[in-house]
Amino acid sequence: MMKHFRQCVAGLLALGMVLMPGQALAQTYFWWTVVDEFGRPYPSQTVSCSVYDLASHGAKELFLLPSLARHAGVLTTMPLLSDADSRLHFYTDSTSDVRVVCYYARGGAATDVRLSRFAHTVMIDRQGRKVVRIPYVTNATTTNSGVWLPQGATVRDVVVNNLGSGRGQSDLIADAHLDVGFAGNHRVAVGHALVRQLGLETGLWQRPHFTASYGGTGGFYVNASHRGGALAFVIQGHRTGDSGRAGVYIETPYLIHVAGGLEVTYTTNNTPGISGHLFILYDSYHTGVSTTPVGR
């Protein structure tokens, strides 16, 4: 009787060690596949996703192994890349929903997607509005980004998020400038086709714009444009007292009609520490559509 009692006590103690907080972490497995609007998975290694906490908006701590061991498989960097089965996955010690931001290598984004451990699909459509993200650093010579905008892309806008050196509010930091254009043998293949000499503001989001000057009693006139020639029509104005002209500034989209597409380039000045991301927004239609007649 005493022997059985001791065995029961030992069993309960062992169970307590398993269930005791701090002795073992319960893990949750998240996995999902990124598909297009037709439900087709994107090829492996072409999709990257970053994972964030819904409450704090900070990056989640992600693990490769169910043990959640920091010395054996913790992911300290993002984004995640899709595997050979077009899946993305990780382990975590929380069951809470997460925010997932995914990008496709050829453009397109599914941002602010709330994902639970029971949801296994994120959709990035191949049609309509695309967003491609390109990192930049100090490079005084024209730098090929490796990102190609496909034929049929209609470029609408460019937005810049400067993370490094730039012109601060006190203007004590040396000015930093950015040009964005296209590579190749084409009329629009110039280094400032999309962005021209944009003064980078430290820590701010910027949209290329035009600048205006004041000509005394004659009022304001268009002085210059930081929006490249592919995205704006500009006639510079001038004023001398009451005479002169105001100038013209009209924003326009640019359609890429080159069969192989165009590669995006960028250039900065020599200011050390320039870094950030530029986002190119474009529409894409009639790509990836099946040409097989109905019924065949």
Report which of 291, 209, 190, 288 is spatially closest to residue 251, judged by C-alpha positions. Answer: 209
Report which of 234, 228, 237 is spatially closest to residue 250, judged by C-alpha positions. Answer: 234
Q: Name residues whose C-beta falls within 8 Å of residue 236's C-beta, 6 or more positions apart in sequence.
A: 222, 223, 224, 247
Q: Are residues 265 and 180 in the same domain?
A: yes
Order of strands, edge to edge, in the sheet holding 74-75? 74-75, 62-63, 87-92, 28-35, 121-123
Task: Give 68-80 pLDDT, tens digit per residue.
Answer: 765 555 555 568 8
Rg (alpha carbons) of the chain, rounded to whole number: 27
The verdict on residue 203 lying in a domain is: yes
b/e string for 161-192 if b means 16 or more Cβ within 10 A? ebbbbbbeeeeebeebbbbbbbbeeeebebbb
The verdict on residue 100 lying in a domain is: yes
List the domain range (segments joined by +) for residue 186.
129-284
Instruction: Report the DSSP pairing between strands 195-199 and 275-284.
Output: unpaired
Residue pair 276/205 in contact by the 8 Å Cβ criterion: no
Q: Name residues whose C-beta falls within 8 Å of residue 139's C-beta, 6 or more positions apart in sequence.
A: 266, 267, 268
Distances (CA, A) of 193 to 9, 197, 233, 251, 274: 78, 11, 12, 13, 21
Residue position matching structure tokens 């995640």? 80
Choose the final residue of a domain: 82, 105, 123: 123
Low-confidence ranges of the chain (pLDDT < 50): 2-3, 5-24, 169-173, 286-296
Q: Peptide bond before 79: cis, by omega within 30 degrees of 0?
A: yes
The verdict on residue 296 lying in a domain is: no
The verdict on residue 175 lying in a domain is: yes
Q: Are residues 164 and 254 in the same domain?
A: yes
Count the domains in the chain: 2
Instruction: Look up residue 176 and give its two tokens.
Output: 């930093």
Residue pair 212/220 in contact by the 8 Å Cβ criterion: yes
Q: Are residues 152 and 115 in the same domain?
A: no
Residue position matching structure tokens 């599914």? 110
Choose the final residue of a domain: 123, 150, 177: 123
d(CA 109, CA 254) in angstroms, rounded, equals 20
Distances (CA, A) of 87 to 55, 95, 131, 134, 228: 25, 20, 22, 23, 39
Is pTM beyond 0.95? Reply is no
| pLDDT for residue 193 | 93
Q: Are residues 225 and 275 in the same domain?
A: yes
Q: Are residues 183 and 149 in the same domain?
A: yes
Amino acid at 252: T
Choose the final residue of a domain: 123, 139, 157: 123
Instruction: Look up residue 248 and give its two tokens.
Output: 């013209």
